[in-house]
Amino acid sequence: MLKQRVITALVLLAFLLPALFAPMAWPFALLMLLMAGAAAWEWARLNSAPSMVAVGMGIAMAVACGLAFAAGWVRVGPSIAWWVAFGVWVLGGALALKVGPSAWHMLPRAARWLLGVAAIWTAWLALSSAKATGINFILSIFCLVWVADIAAYFGGKAFGRRKLALAISPGKSWEGVWSGMAGVQLLALVWIQADRHWNLAQLDSASLFTALLNRFGVLGLVPILVFLNAMSVVGDLVESLVKRSAGAKDSSGLLPGHGGVLDRVDAVLPVFPIAMALSTL
C-alpha cells in the first residue's frame, strides 16, 4: 500500500508542479478542471446519483469551469462566487454536521447535489484565481491547509483525549484541532517574515498571510487564521460524513493508494474560496 501511495503521489506531482510553476494560468486551470470534474462525479455517486447522472455531473462541472475560464473569470474572479462559497460552507457545513451521517441521505438528492456542485466549482475558480495572483500567494494557502492537517495529526497522536466528532471521524480530537491552529499561526509568522526579508510581494506576489496582515492587522489576522483552520476541519468532516452516509471508505478508487480526488482535496474546498473572499474584502 505504501509503495502504491508513493507512486501515485509522484505521478500527481509530475503533473502538478509544472502546471503550478508555469508562467501561464491555463495549464494549472486545466489540471484543476479535470480534478473538479472527477470530484463532481465522485460527489454525485456518494449522493445516490445513478451512474449516467454522475457522469453527466462530472462533464457539466468541467464545462462550467471551461466557460468560466473562457469568460476571463480566472484573472478577475467574481467576488460574489467567494461569498456564495462562504455561505455554502458556513451554513451548509453546519447543517451537514448537525444532521450527521444517519440523516444526511434523507435530505433531498437535488439539494445535496447542488451543495456539492457549488462547493467544487467555487473551489476550482478560487484555485485558478489564486494561481493567477501569484505563486507565493497560492503556495501560502496550500501550506496553510497542509500544515493544519499535519500539525493536527501529530498533535492528536501525542495529546488527543477528547473526540471531536466521534460519529463522523473517530480519529479526530479537539487537541488535534488546537495543534493545527497553533501550527498555522507559526507558519504565518515565519511566512510574513520571509515576505519582508526577500520582498516577495515585489518579486512575485504577497502571501495570503501578508495580504491579510496588511488589510486587518495582527488583531484581525489571528482570528481569521483560526477561522480558516476551522473551515479546513469542516471540509474534512463533511466529506467523511458523506462517505459514512454512503457506506463508502473512499470517495472512489481514482488515485490508487489515496482513494479518490475528494479524499485529497476535502480541506482545500472551503479554504481557497474563503481565503479569496477575505483577502479581497
pLDDT, mean of each 10-residue run, the chain (281 residues): 75 89 91 95 93 95 94 81 88 79 85 90 94 93 95 89 83 92 96 87 85 94 96 92 89 85 92 92 76
CA-CA distance, 132 to 250, in Å (whole number)?
A: 32
Q: What angle do CA 16, 241, 119 make, to 5 degrees?
A: 50
pLDDT score at 281: 76
The DSSP bridge partners found for residue 169 are: 165
pLDDT score at 6: 77
2's CB contacts (< 8 A; 6+ apart) are: 257
What range defines the domain where residue 173 resides?
Answer: 2-279
Reported pTM: 0.93
pLDDT score at 73: 87
Task: Provide the 3-class DSSP secondary structure of residue 172.
Answer: strand
Other CB atoms within 10 Å distance of the CB of residue 184: 24
Whether residue 243 contacts residue 47, with contact meaning beta carbons closer than 8 Å, is answered with no
Our count of domains for the chain comes to 1
Q: Compute the chain's Rg from CA coordinates.
A: 18
- Of 16, 226, 209, whose CA–CA distance to 131 is shortest? 16
Q: Which of 224-247 are b and which e, b meaning 16 or more Cβ less than 10 Å from the residue's Cβ?
A: bbbebbbbbbbbbbbbbbbbbbbe
The letter for the amino acid at 25 is A
The region that residue 109 occupies, defined by phi over 0 for left and psi between -120 and 50 for alpha, beta otherwise, is: alpha
pLDDT score at 192: 94
Q: What angle do CA 175, 180, 186 make, to 5 degrees?
A: 125
- Of 138, 177, 90, whose CA–CA distance to 279 is shortest? 138
φ, ψ at 250 (rounded to 5°): -125, 160
